[in-house]
Chains A and B, each alone.
Chain A
Amino acid sequence: MKSYCYITFPTTYYAIRAESLAKSEKFSIKMVPVPRNISSSCGTAMRCLEEEAEKINNFLQDNKVVIDGLYVQR
């Protein structure tokens, strides 16, 4: 079974900005509702494969996206 990583954001503005940037870099991501066991300030998270999470996280931060947290769900 694949294990996913969830990147969360303080606002939906940053969530969609993150999506737009990640898609332009051809990262395999999907915007999903934040699982309820994760604490987040905005209800939409970016889901990606665990092995790509750190790379995506760094890429987003380099592009001034404010990130709330990074969670792995196995």
Chain B
Amino acid sequence: MNLYFDNAATSHPKPEQVYLAVTNYFRNIGGNPGRASHAGSLNALRMIFELREKLARLFNISDPSRIAFSFNATDALNMAIKGYVNKGEHIIHTSMEHNSVLRPVAGMCKKNIIESTVIPADKKGLPDLDFLADSIKDNTKLLIINHASNVCGTIQPIEMMIEIAHSRNVKVLLDAAQTAGILPIDVQRLNIDMLAFCGHKGLLGPPGTGALYLSPDIDIQPWREGGTGSFSDRPHQPEYMPDRLEAGTLNSVGLAGLSAALDFINNETVEKISSHEQSMLSSLKTKLNDIEGLKLIGNHVPCVAVISFIVTGYDCADVSLKMEQDYGLMCRTGLHCAPLAHKALGTFPQGTVRISPGYFNTEKEIDYLVNSLRNIVLDDRLIPLKG
């Protein structure tokens, strides 16, 4: 038996209609959207247009043209960070950020373009809000928040954080890599200035898809420049969204799959998806808590269906290897591209084992996972760490 519990990395499997849409698009449409006026190109463009409208409905975005497609959340975050913050300005982010934020910010700091401040988090993965308020300076331009941790699932208190930032004229970039399609996100109600997300996790689409939403009062410099099929006689990138940020051929095959995935989500509803995941999560946490020697990390409520744990005295790599070899359980081990989060949670540098169930996992599979882990933890075949 092989069971997939690594949905925080990418969701698998996808809804059946996603596979069908990808095949149909690739075989029967296949034109380059926006580059010609023949049926292949126009049908591709129509598909992309409808997808933008579906995303706008999902996130309550009033103008779908403010959504620019990217190739993943990392790409969207790079577009936002490098396009919005200028020389001499200051960025604040939490210590729960993924390397998709940490590295672009660190890279800009290293080149002396900007400066940054990291808001510390506690052992539950929650940020110090007083520290946030105290960190805002005259040149602070942007606050970046990881909506939910990809290490321990902790959902950040974004409403309070956005309020603090906006009270001092600081814009907010929300990294929804772990929450898009899983938690309801209303960009207007929450006053989100920029929303970055990928299409291949909670949105259940193919890899190579993502997007950045910009609120109407935000303008950013294009990070990627090139052909758009518009203003072709001009030397510079067009001012109009989405062309401003969408240079080069889009991953239309992937986006066709994402469009079908959004129909699936719309049909199921985000509320139902969230409720199923929360039910699995709560049962999983309760049962794992009963296993002596297994320690849940972070373990805060509310959180998304991402659980990190360690087995006292054992290497997490050894635990995850046994999970797959002996029980067919696929999960992730290590730092999960978020070193500062592990420092906050007290699991740096050894890391954790991460289990992330998805919408298609069942309660029965959760029971199998728990029983397997109980066997592994109680099994003395695990080699204790030396020294």
Q: Do A and B bind each other?
A: yes
Chain A positions near chain B (C-beta within 8 angstroms): 10-17, 19-20, 31-34, 41-45, 66
Chain B positions near chain A (C-beta within 8 angstroms): 33-37, 42, 45-46, 48-49, 52, 64-65, 228-232, 238, 240-243
Contact of B49 among A20, A41, A42 (CB under 8 A): A20
Contact of A43 among B36, B46, B48, B242 (CB under 8 A): B36
> Bound state CA distance, A11 and B45, in angstroms?
11
Determine if A66 and B240 form an interchain contact, defined as CB atoms under 8 angstroms apart.
Answer: yes
When distances are taken between beta carbons in the complex, the residues of chain A under 8 Å from B230 are 10-12, 41-43
> Bound state CA distance, A53 and B52, in angstroms?
27
Cβ-closest 5 pairs across A and B: A12-B34, A33-B37, A42-B230, A16-B49, A41-B231
Q: How far is the CB of B251 from chain A (nearest CB, A)?
A: 17
> Bound state CA distance, A11 and B66, in angstroms?
13
When distances are taken between beta carbons in the complex, the residues of chain B under 8 Å from A45 are 37
Determine if A11 and B238 form an interchain contact, defined as CB atoms under 8 angstroms apart.
Answer: yes
Given known A13-B65, A16-B45, A41-B231, contact A33–B36 (CB-CB < 8 A): yes
Given known A41-B231, A43-B232, contact A16–B37 (CB-CB < 8 A): no
> Bound state CA distance, A16 and B35, in angstroms?
13
What is the chain B residue whose CB lies nearest that of A40?
B230
Determine if A16 and B46 form an interchain contact, defined as CB atoms under 8 angstroms apart.
Answer: yes
When distances are taken between beta carbons in the complex, the residues of chain B under 8 Å from A10 are 230-231, 238, 240
SS of B interface (majority): loop
Give the A-B contact count at a CB cut-off of 8 A. 65
Q: Can you add 14 more A-B contacts, CB < 8 Å, to A13-B64, A13-B65, A44-B36?
A: A10-B231, A10-B240, A11-B65, A11-B228, A11-B243, A14-B65, A16-B42, A16-B49, A17-B49, A20-B46, A33-B36, A42-B34, A42-B229, A44-B34
> Bound state CA distance, A15 and B243, in angstroms?
13
> Bound state CA distance, A2 and B229, in angstroms?
29
Could you pull out 20 A-B pairs where Cβ atoms are within 8 angstroms? A10-B231, A10-B240, A11-B34, A11-B230, A11-B238, A11-B242, A12-B33, A12-B229, A12-B230, A13-B243, A16-B42, A16-B48, A16-B49, A17-B49, A19-B46, A20-B46, A31-B42, A33-B36, A41-B238, A44-B42
> Bound state CA distance, A6 and B78, in angstroms?
39
> Bound state CA distance, A33 and B49, in angstroms?
18
Q: How far is the CB of A40 from chain B (nearest CB, A)?
A: 9
When distances are taken between beta carbons in the complex, the residues of chain B under 8 Å from A44 are 34, 36-37, 42, 45
Given known A11-B230, A12-B229, A13-B65, contact A43–B243 (CB-CB < 8 A): no
When distances are taken between beta carbons in the complex, the residues of chain A under 8 Å from B231 are 10, 41-42
> Bound state CA distance, A3 and B387, in angstroms?
87
When distances are taken between beta carbons in the complex, the residues of chain B under 8 Å from A12 are 33-34, 45, 229-230, 243
When distances are taken between beta carbons in the complex, the residues of chain A under 8 Å from B37 are 31-34, 43-45
